[in-house]
Amino acid sequence: MHQLTRRAAPEAGWAARVARLFSRQPYVVAAGALLVGMLVINAPGTYALWNDTQAGSPVTIQTGNLAVTISAPVVGAVAMAAAPAGVVVRAGSLGMVPGVQAETLTYTVTNTGTAGVPAKLSFVTHGHRDAAASAAWTAIQPRLTATVSATGTGAVALPTAGITTTDAPIATFTSAVIIQPGATANIVFTFSLPASGGTPATDWPRLLQQYRAGNGVSVGSLLQLHPVVTLTQVPRHV
């Protein structure tokens, strides 16, 4: 009978054990109260202080863009020297005429960024030669002068000796050219051959003419160059 009463009594639960602990240990109760009081004092907002909060008006910040475009090359010509007697250069002709006219390829680079930021121009010239014209290339390359310039800079010689039939970088051009937003700069490649010379003496115009006749293609296909352009932001007020 006694055992049955103990099993049925609610004091067997956890609540009863806590109640018995507090009833027998007044110090436990006091410590608990102290802990609760400390928590109340330190909890944010529960220890009353006057306060007020305001949020400033938001501002939306949007970043811009720096972008570059490069045109297709425009073929042109510049005179090297007066044509010798018996040589007639047709007015308006393009392409190389050894000793008389140099061929130019002009790329126009435009700063198309939306952020209105100036940028410095740099580019890497890639090039390869025509695989079918190895013999002509071997003969012509040592006499070929190839230069590149950007607007406002002097021409820089391009090393053509190492050019292979696989397109690869051949020279890096880091200029001080600053292109303002929306403005352009030109990259100009110039190719020229002397009228004659070399050891043994070679008739370059004749060789070039033979190359052209033999390949049935333009001089431009003998060597192909193209720039890979990079614009790098510079401070606005520079």
Partner 1 sequence: MKTVTKAAIAGVAGVTLLLGGAGTLAFWTDTQAGSEVTIATGNLDLGVPADGSGWALQQNAADLPADTAEALSVPYIAQLLVPGDTLTKTVNIPIVLTGENNRARLDVTAANATGALDDVLSAEILTINGTPVTTPADGTATVTFTTAQVAALTGGNVPVTYRVAFDWAADNTTKLATTTFQANYTLTQVPENS
| Contact positions vs partner 1 (CB under 8 A) | 49-66, 114-117, 233-238
What length does the chain have? 238
CB nearer to partner 1: pick between 15 and 238 = 238
Q: How far is the CB of 119 from partner 1 (least distance, A)?
A: 10
CB nearer to partner 1: pick between 43 and 55 = 55
Take residue 17 and report the two structure tokens written for it: 């054990």
Dump strand ranges (E) for 82-118: 101-111
Contacts of 121 (CB under 8 A, 6+ apart): 109, 150, 175, 177, 178, 179, 185, 229, 230, 231
CB nearer to partner 1: pick between 96 and 231 = 231
Q: How far is the CB of 26 from partner 1 (least distance, A)?
A: 34
Q: How many CA atoms lie within 13 A of 166 on its CB side?
A: 1
Q: How far is the CB of 168 from partner 1 (least distance, A)?
A: 25
Distances, alpha carbon 84 to alpha carbons 48, 96, 174, 195, 201, in Å: 102, 15, 38, 10, 18
CB nearer to partner 1: pick between 88 and 234 = 234
Q: How far is the CB of 131 from partner 1 (least distance, A)?
A: 36
Q: How far is the CB of 54 from partner 1 (least distance, A)?
A: 5
Question: Cα 68 from chain centroid?
Answer: 9
CB nearer to partner 1: pick between 79 and 234 = 234
